[in-house]
Structure formats: C-alpha cells, structure tokens
C-alpha cells in the first residue's frame, strides 16, 4: 500500500468487538484475564494498550519499519532510545541538534558515565574520525534544528555499521512522508509526534521505529520498566493526526517555499535558510534522500537581536511559541527558546546567532502569511 493508504489503515482494522471503523480509545488501566496467565494480548496499560498498539503499527508502517513504540513525549522517546547504551559507552552526536536532546546528553547522561563527542556531521569524515572502540551509537538529525543543514544518512549508517554502532536518526523535521532513514541504513528512527505526525498542537508524544527484533525487545523492556508511555487518549489523538500527514505536508511545503522565496532579498532579511533553494549547501543531498524540502524556514535578520525580537513579537498570524509542525504557523527565537540549553559560544559556533528566527510554516493562506511577515518586518526597520 502507498503512504496515504497506510496512514489511514495500517493498524486500524475495524474493532473486532463492535465493528467500529475508527480505533476506539481503550481508556482502561487493566484487562480482565480469562484465567491466571491467560490474557487476550493485554494485561496492564503501561505494558500495552490496543489504542497505543494501533498507533505504533501505523507509525512503523509509515517509516517502512517492522516495529514501533509510542512514548509519552519526544524527549521520552529520545531518553528511551538512550537505554540502548550503558556506562562506559561512547556516543558520536551531530552538533547541530535540538536543545532538549543536548540537555539530556550534556547534563543527565554523563552522570551515568555515558560519554559524548559532538561533531560537524555534515562532513561524514568527522563522524568517522570521532569513532572510538567504545562507540555504541551515532546520533543525527537531518534536516537539523534550527539551521536546516543536511546530513548524509546513508554515509553515517555505513560508518556506524563498520564499527558495530547504532545509527539513530531524529526524523521529526522531515517526517516519514519526506524521508525514511531505515531505508537509508539507519538502525533507529526517533520522532517527536507532538510535531508533524500529530500535527494539531494538541497532544504531546514521541515514537521510535526499528527493524531489528532484538533492538525492539531491549527498548520495550526499558520502556515498560521506566514507564514513559502515552495514555490511550493521547495515542488516539496522534493516530487521528497521522491520517492526514501526507496532505498536510504537501501544503506545509508549498507554503514554506512561497514564504522562503518571498523573504529572500527582502529589506532587513540578511539570509534565508531553506533546503529547497538550489544554492542551499545541502540541496542536492536533500534531493537524493528526501522526497521534498519540508515546512521549516530559518532566517537571519540584518538588524541583529533587536530586529529578531521585534519580528517575533510583531506577527499577528504567526504565533510566538515553542514547538513546530502544527496546522498553525509558529515563529520562534532559538537563542532563548528551543536552543536555550546551549552556551552562547556553542550557539554562535553552530551559526545560531541572536539574529536567527525559526518559522514553522502552517496551513494558512500563504498570501496572508507573507503579508503578516511583511508588516512585522516593517516594524524592524
């Protein structure tokens, strides 16, 4: 089946008990057993729930993977994936990454003797150079957050494979509609389903997809032991959102392209970062490993921090807020919002200056969005 059909039907057969076309919300903690040790596939909702299972099956199918696990948040999914490494292990990380991941990797996990090396993964040779005998994982995002750099997933997968390490790809920005890292050689795919997969900014969630059953069992055991699972209502909302991912992503991308072109060369805009531009450094790589360029646009204001703050606080349709990937457009200030966890010198080294503004382009009329930005930019001069 093709993507659009899988999104609506994978894991979503009619309910066996009632014939309900839509997967029910199984709002229950426990499941009555026929006898001691004789259950019907479910025992306790932390360990498994039919609504959650439907979501896990759907997301795995969309990623082209065999197994999916749903988590209570994107960070729960990231933390759950890190249960694959142990004290003394080493992880190579693409240094242009989400601030929440960096916070976990730099402030929490080193206390458990997990060591991290950060590299410019847009150059696969830097990933290879950072590998040590203790390396058990390579962690990347592509496109990266917020600078929209592209990382060669297949090249990183080959490096990880040669050294017996997992390649983990945070695929939140690209979504399964535009990119499938498992098909490029990755071992684990991570999502914040809060973003594009849920798509409506009304539910927090995360997911992990793998192809290997042994890896699945390790992750599932750790998830059950630590408990970072979504409730059935959250799983149901995310599943409902996933049904329309294909049509939403087409419009997100169409709007983002129009806005990126509108902003390029505009007075007060020093740079526009969008992989869809032919002169973007990662454009050709994006064309090879993705099926589109996504709905995120990052800009730099010529007026520096003052202009960036003014823009963020002057839009009427773009809402100033954390998160991304919803039907509504959001504007964010990475310096103090999504990437506040990084030290100033680290942000600057990655190109995240106080002049950078991140746009999550929603599904509103593109002309209205351009007019909103034009009016806000006028206040920055």
Contact between 145 and 351 under an 8 Å Cβ cutoff? The reply is no
Contact between 66 and 59 under an 8 Å Cβ cutoff? The reply is no
The residue among 247, 143, 259 whose CA lies nearest residue 199 is 247
> Does the active-site annotation cover 44?
no
DSSP per-residue string spanning 343-356: -HHHHHHTT--TTE
Interstrand relation of 269-273 and 206-210 (parallel, antiparallel or unpaired): unpaired
Contact between 35 and 29 under an 8 Å Cβ cutoff? The reply is no
Catalytic residue among 46, 218, 220, 240: 46
Catalytic residue among 195, 347, 350, 358: 195
> Distance of alpha carbon 275 from its chain centroid, rounded?
17
> Does the active-site annotation cover 46?
yes
> Does the active-site annotation cover 195?
yes
Output Rg (C-alpha) for the chain, integer angstroms. Answer: 21
> Does the active-site annotation cover 26?
no
Catalytic residue among 26, 98, 102, 333: 98
Residues with Cβ within 8 Å of residue 247, at least 6 apart in sequence: 4
Catalytic residue among 170, 211, 234, 372: 170
Alpha-carbon distances, residue 66 vs 23, 146, 215, 220, 246 (angstroms): 20, 30, 11, 14, 20
Please identify every residue annotated as catalytic.
Answer: 46, 98, 170, 195
């Amino acid at each position: 089946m093709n993507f659009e059909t899988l999104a609506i039907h994978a894991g979503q057969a009619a309910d066996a008990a009632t014939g309900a076309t839509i997967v029910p919300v199984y709002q229950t903690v426990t499941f009555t057993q026929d006898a001691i040790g004789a259950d019907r596939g479910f025992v306790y909702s932390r360990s498994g729930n039919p609504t959650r299972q439907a979501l896990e099956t759907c997301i795995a199918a969309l990623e082209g993977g065999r197994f999916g696990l749903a988590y209570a948040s994107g960070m729960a999914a990231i933390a759950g994936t890190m249960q694959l490494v142990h004290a003394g292990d080493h992880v190579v990380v693409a240094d242009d990454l989400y601030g929440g991941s960096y916070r976990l990797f730099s402030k929490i996990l080193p206390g458990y003797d997990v060591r991290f090396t950060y590299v410019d993964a847009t150059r696969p040779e830097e990933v290879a150079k950072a590998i040590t005998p203790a390396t058990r994982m390579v962690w990347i995002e592509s496109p990266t957050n917020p600078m929209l750099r592209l990382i060669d997933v297949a090249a990183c997968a080959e490096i990880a494979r040669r050294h017996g390490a997992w390649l983990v790809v945070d695929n939140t920005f690209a979504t399964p509609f535009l990119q499938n890292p498992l098909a490029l050689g990755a071992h684990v795919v991570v999502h914040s389903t809060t973003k594009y997969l849920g798509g409506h900014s009304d539910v927090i969630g995360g997911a992990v997809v793998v192809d290997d059953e042994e890896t699945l069992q390790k992750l599932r055991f750790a998830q059950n032991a630590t408990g970072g699972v979504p409730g059935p209502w959250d799983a149901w909302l995310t599943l409902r959102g996933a049904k329309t991912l294909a049509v939403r992503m087409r419009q997100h991308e169409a709007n983002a392209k129009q806005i990126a072109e509108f902003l390029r060369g505009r007075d007060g805009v020093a740079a526009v970062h969008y992989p869809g531009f032919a002169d973007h450094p990662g454009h050709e790589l994006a064309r090879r490993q993705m099926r589109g360029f996504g709905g995120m646009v990052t800009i730099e204001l010529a007026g520096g921090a003052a202009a960036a703050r003014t823009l963020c606080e002057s839009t009427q349709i773009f809402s100033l807020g954390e998160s991304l990937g919803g039907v509504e457009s959001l504007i964010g200030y990475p310096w103090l919002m999504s990437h506040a966890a990084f030290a100033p010198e680290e942000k600057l080294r990655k190109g995240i200056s106080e002049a950078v503004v991140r746009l999550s382009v929603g599904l509103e009329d593109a002309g209205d969005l351009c007019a909103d930005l034009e009016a806000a930019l006028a206040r920055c001069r």
